[in-house]
Structure formats: C-alpha cells, structure tokens
C-alpha cells in the first residue's frame, strides 16, 4: 500500500473518532503499524542511496511519515484511554 493511501486511510480514521469502537481502534493501529514499517524501509533505503537529490526526497518523506504517525498515535492513545474509562464506568 502506498504512503498516499495510508495517509488517506489515516485521515478517514481520524475524522470518525467520536464513535470509535474496538474495530475502529484496531484499524487505526494497523494503519499506524504500516506507516511505521514504511518509515523503517525509508530509513534503510536512505543508507543505501548516494544521490543527494534522492536522499533529500527520502528525508522529506520520512518527515511527513513522522508527522502523520505522531498525529495518529495521539488520537489512538486518546481513544484507548476513553475506552478504558468507559469500561471502568461499566464495572
């Protein structure tokens, strides 16, 4: 899956955060894991490339991935915390 599609998926998951259930949280986590994997692959390819233009391009992609993951992780943690509070209220 390309990074653009992962960003679209992440954006859609971030928009529907009000009525998040377990399935929604699980999907968000999977997208975040894929973004992390993509970021690691870019770091590996960065070490192998000598062309300065390509290196700058990869560094920019890594920056974008970091920012998107950071936003997603923040929402994920908030959803998990809200879910834990809701479960403790039920007990």
Could you read off the pLDDT of 36-49 as tens digits, one per residue? 999 999 999 998 99
Q: How far is CA 10 from CA 1, 47, 51, in A?
A: 13, 28, 31
Which pTM value belongs to this model? 0.76
User: Are the C-beta atoms of 76 and 25 separated by less than 8 Å?
Assistant: yes
Confidence of residue 13 (pLDDT cuts 50, 70, 90): confident
Give me the pLDDT at residue 15, please: 67
Average per-residue pLDDT in the chain? 86
Give me the pLDDT at residue 66, please: 95
């Amino acid at each position: 899956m390309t990074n653009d599609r992962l960003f679209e998926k992440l954006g859609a998951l971030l928009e529907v955060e009000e009525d998040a259930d377990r399935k929604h949280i699980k999907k968000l986590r999977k997208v975040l894991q894929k973004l992390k994997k993509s970021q690691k692959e870019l770091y590996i390819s960065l070490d192998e490339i000598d062309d300065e233009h390509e290196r700058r391009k990869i560094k920019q992609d890594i920056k974008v991935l970091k920012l998107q993951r950071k936003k997603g992780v923040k929402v994920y943690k908030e959803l998990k915390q809200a879910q834990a509070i809701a479960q403790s209220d039920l007990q």
